[in-house]
Each structure stands twice: as structure tokens, then as C-alpha cells.
Amino acid sequence: MTIELIADEDVQPEEDIQKSSINHALVQTHLIKTLPDDQFTIATELSLDVSSSERQAILKKYHVKAERELKPDICLYDAQDLDYLDPELEEDDIARLEQAPLLCIEIVSPSQSSMEILRKFRVYFAMGVKSCWYVDPNLKLVKIYSSLQQSKSFEEGEVFDSVLNIHLPLNKIFFKRSSLMR
């Protein structure tokens, strides 16, 4: 039996770990199933490296506390920019990625404020992210930011990200199985 030791710095205090919820988890799953994986690589909870002095300055500027990483709920990369790393081909897995994704999606959870998410968006845009989605399961709302000054809200019909040309039916994001069983 092998026991892996974890350095103290790798363990996050309880209060720093984002609390999820049923709606958060289900909306995250529905988004993953609905996003176009033919042109994008979809990753959940991928750690974005913010340990460089340049990125630490960005975090400080926007009052976001993170020592080494930020983890969007979902991020998208161009399909050619991110792929499975195969150990059989001597490709080592990476714990924190420096390359910014094209899209970061943050789903509101009970432990997060909207201001906290918007601060993260400022950091994501400064890192080179092209689009950020604010998803609120309680309001059944998707708000797409192409910049901090430009956003569009979707509460019915189809979500459209004009920067990445992504179209998604809102009813697939906020899907309720029991509504089919009536």
C-alpha cells in the first residue's frame, strides 16, 4: 500500500473551499453535457495558475485572494489547445495550468456573492479570457460578459455567446426532469 503525503500548503482551510449545492452541481452537469465539445475542450474545476508575480499583482488589484490558483466551475479551451495527457506517451499531468481558457463559467453557489464572482471575472479578463458566464440557478439566469463593460442576460429561449459563437437552449441548462413526468 502506498501512502501519499500532502504538504500543508496543499490543504485548504474549510472556509476557503467553495460550498456547492444540488442546483449548482446539476446546472454544472447540464452545462457540460450541452456545451459544444466538438470545437472546445471542456474542463471542470481546472486550476488556473496565478502564482506568478504578474498574476498576483492582478489578484491584488481586483481584491481577489488566492495564493496559487483560481478554479472556475467550467472552462473552455480551443480543442487543439488542451487535451488528455497520456502517461503511456510520457505526458505528465499538470496540476495548475498557466494558459488562460477562452471561457470561464461561474455558477452561483450559496456561499458566494455576486461581487466575489465579478471580481474573479476582472482577473479572468486580465489573464486573457475572452468570455465569462455568470450562471444563477435560483434565478434561472445566464449573464454573458464579453468584457466587464459589456454583458447580456438570458432568462428564456437561447443563450448566445457572440464572442465564441455558442448557442445553448436555456431549458437544457436549467433542466428539471420531473417536469417531463407530469
pLDDT greater at residue 148 or residue 90:
148
Residues making up the chain, counted from first to last: 182
Instruction: Indicate whether 13 belongs to any domain.
Output: no
Residue 113 placed within a domain: yes
Question: Who contacts 141 (Cβ-Cβ below 8 Å, separation ≥6)?
Answer: 134, 135, 153, 154, 155
Stated pTM of the model: 0.84
In a domain, residue 135? The reply is yes
Residue 61 lies in domain: 20-177
Could you read off the pLDDT of 90-143 as tens digits, one per residue?
566 676 778 899 999 999 998 888 999 999 999 999 999 999 999 999 999 999
Q: How many other C-beta atoms are found inside a 10 Å radius of the C-beta of residue 141? A: 17
CATH number of the domain encompassing residue 97: 3.90.1570.10
Q: Is residue 4 part of a domain?
A: no
Residue type, 18: Q
Burial of 84 per CB tally in 10 Å (0-12, 13-18, 19+): exposed
Residue 42 maps to a domain: yes
pLDDT of residue 56: 94
93-130 exposure pattern, b = at least 16 Cβ within 10 A, e = fewer: eeeebeebbbbbbbbbbeeeeeeebebbbbbbbbbebb
All three cell numbers of 97: 495550468
Q: 181 or 138: whose pLDDT is higher? A: 138
- Contact in structure between 58 and 13 (CB atoms under 8 Å): no
For the chain, the domain total comes to 1
How high is the pLDDT of residue 3?
41
- The verdict on residue 11 lying in a domain is no
Per cent of the chain over pLDDT 90 is: 63
Q: Residue 176, SS3? A: coil
74-78 and 131-136 as β-strands: parallel, antiparallel, unpaired? Answer: unpaired
Here the cell at position 15 is 472556509
In a domain, 152, yes or no: yes
What residues contact 162, with CB distance under 8 A and at least 6 apart? 146
151 found inside a domain = yes
